[in-house]
Chain A
Amino acid sequence: MTEILEVPSPFCGIGTDDLTVQVDGVTLKVSANGCAINTPLFEQPITDTLPRIDGQTCTLAEAVAKAASILKPTNLPIIGGCATDVNGMRGLLALADRAGAVVDNMNFVGARNNFLALQDSGWMNTTLAEVKNRCDLLLILGTDLEAFAPRFFERYLWTDAMFVEDTSQRTVVYLGKSPSGQASTSPNGTAAKVIPCADTDLPEVVGVLRALVNNKPIRVTDVAGIALSELQALAAQLKTAKYGVVTWAAGALGFSQAELTVQTVCEMIKEINKQDTRCSGLPLAGKEGDQTANQVCGWTSGYPARTRFNRGYPEYDPYLNDSRVLLENGEADALVWVQAFNAKSVPPTTPLPTIVIGRSGMVFEREPEVFIPVGTPGIDHAGHAYRMDNVVAIRLKKCRDSGLPSTAEVLHAIEQALA
Chain B
Amino acid sequence: MLIKLTGGVVYDPASGIDGKQQDIYIQDGRIIAKPSEDTPIAKEYNLQGKVVMSGAIDMHTHIGGGKGNIARTLLPEDHRSDPVERTHICRSGCGHAAPSTFITGYRYAEMGYTAGFEPAVLPINARQAHMEMGDIPILDKGGYVMLGSDDYLLRLLTAKKDQKAINDYVAWTINSAKAIGVKVVNPGGINAFKFNQRKLDLDEQNSHYGVTPREILQVLATAVKQIGISHPLHVHGCNLGVPGNMQTTLDTIQGIGGLPMHLTHIQFHSYGTEGDFKFSSGAAQIAEAVNKNKNITIDVGQILFGQTVTASGDSMRQFANSHHASPKKWVTMDIECDAGCGVVPFKYKDQNFVNALQWAIGLETFLLVDDPWRIFLTTDHPNGAPFTSYPHLIRLLMDKSFRNDMLATLHPEAQKMTTLASIEREYTLQEIAIMTRAGAAKLIGLQDRGGLSPGNWADITVYTDQADRQKMFEKPDYVFKDGELVVVDGKVVHTKWGTTHIAKPDFDPSVEKGLKEYFDKYLTMKLGNFKISDDEITEDGRGSLTVHPTH
Residues of A within 8 A of B (CB): 6, 8, 15, 17-18, 86-87, 90, 94, 97-98, 115, 118-130, 132-134, 155-156, 160-163, 242-243, 270, 273, 276-278, 280, 294-296, 298-304, 309, 312-316, 382, 384, 390-395, 408
Contact = CB atoms under 8 A, between A and B. Distances in A.
A277 B74 contact: no
B144 interface: no
A390 B343 CA distance: 15
Contact of A300 (B101, B194, B333, B528): B101
Interface string B507-551: 000000000000001111110110011011001100000000000
Contact of B337 (A18, A86, A130): A130
A387 B319 CA distance: 25
Nearest to A281: B333
B98 interface: yes
Query: Lowest 7 CB-CB distances: which A-B pairs, in order?
Result: A302-B94, A313-B83, A122-B329, A302-B79, A129-B336, A393-B127, A312-B85
Given A87-B540, A125-B332, A391-B66, 7 more contacts: A6-B526, A119-B74, A122-B343, A127-B333, A132-B524, A273-B319, A390-B66
A280 B529 contact: no
B101 A162 contact: no
A94 B526 CA distance: 33
A97 B194 contact: no
B132 interface: yes
A315 B331 contact: no
Contact of A309 (B92, B194, B331, B525): B92
B76 interface: yes
Interface string B257-298: 000000000000000000000000000000000000000000
Given A18-B526, A277-B196, A392-B525, A97 B125 contact: no
A184 B196 CA distance: 27
Given A304-B73, A390-B66, A391-B128, A17 B83 contact: no
B18 interface: no
Contacts of A90: 135, 540
A263 to B, nearest CB: 10
A15 B524 CA distance: 8
B539 A313 contact: no
B102 interface: yes
30 contacts: A8-B529, A17-B529, A87-B540, A94-B91, A97-B91, A118-B73, A121-B329, A122-B330, A126-B334, A129-B523, A130-B337, A132-B522, A155-B524, A278-B194, A298-B73, A299-B100, A299-B101, A300-B100, A300-B102, A302-B76, A302-B99, A303-B72, A303-B76, A313-B84, A313-B92, A313-B93, A391-B122, A391-B124, A392-B524, A395-B532
B31 to A, nearest CB: 33
Interface in B87-123: 91-94, 98-102, 122
A391 B93 contact: no
Nearest to B535: A382
Given A127-B335, A130-B194, A273-B319, A302 B100 contact: yes
A312 B92 contact: yes
A300 B524 contact: no
B524 A384 contact: no
Contacts of A128: 336, 524
A163 B66 contact: no
B328 interface: yes
A118 to B, nearest CB: 7
Interface in B322-344: 322, 325, 328-338, 343
Select the residue from A118, A243, A390 with max chain B CB neighbours within 10 A. Answer: A390
Contacts of A276: 196
B201 interface: no
Nearest to A129: B336
B100 A391 contact: no
A120 B329 contact: yes
A161 B194 CA distance: 14
B337 A129 contact: yes
Contacts of A161: 522
Interface residues of B, number: 64
Nearest to B542: A90
Nearest to B315: A124
Contacts of B194: 130, 134, 243, 278
A100 B222 CA distance: 53
Contacts of A304: 73
B151 interface: yes
B43 interface: no
B92 A301 contact: yes
B124 A313 contact: no
Contacts of A408: 540
A398 B334 CA distance: 31
A395 B533 contact: yes
Nearest to A132: B524
B41 interface: no
Interface in B482-518: none
A122 B74 contact: yes
B93 A393 contact: no
B196 A163 contact: no
B131 interface: yes
Contacts of B68: 299
A134 to B, nearest CB: 6
Given A8-B529, A273-B319, A391-B125, A301 B336 contact: no
B69 interface: yes
Contacts of B535: 382
A128 B529 CA distance: 16
A25 to B, nearest CB: 25
A86 B522 contact: no
Interface string B47-73: 000000000000000000010110011
B128 A17 contact: no
B208 interface: yes
A159 to B, nearest CB: 9
A119 B329 contact: yes
Interface string B154-197: 00000000000000000000000000000000000000011110
B331 A124 contact: yes
B196 A242 contact: yes
Nearest to A128: B524
Given A162-B151, A273-B319, A302 B66 contact: no
Contacts of A160: 521-522
A375 B125 CA distance: 26
Nearest to A125: B333
Nearest to A155: B524
Contacts of B125: 391-393
A129 B522 contact: yes
Contacts of A125: 331-334
A130 B533 CA distance: 25
Contacts of B92: 97, 301, 309, 312-314
Contacts of B333: 124-127, 391
Contacts of A391: 66, 122, 124-125, 128, 333, 335-336
Contacts of B338: 129
Contact of A17 (B131, B330, B343, B525): B525
Given A133-B337, A300-B102, A393-B128, A118 B331 contact: yes
Select the residue from B76, B125, B325 with max chain A CB neighbours within 10 A. Answer: B76
A277 B328 CA distance: 22
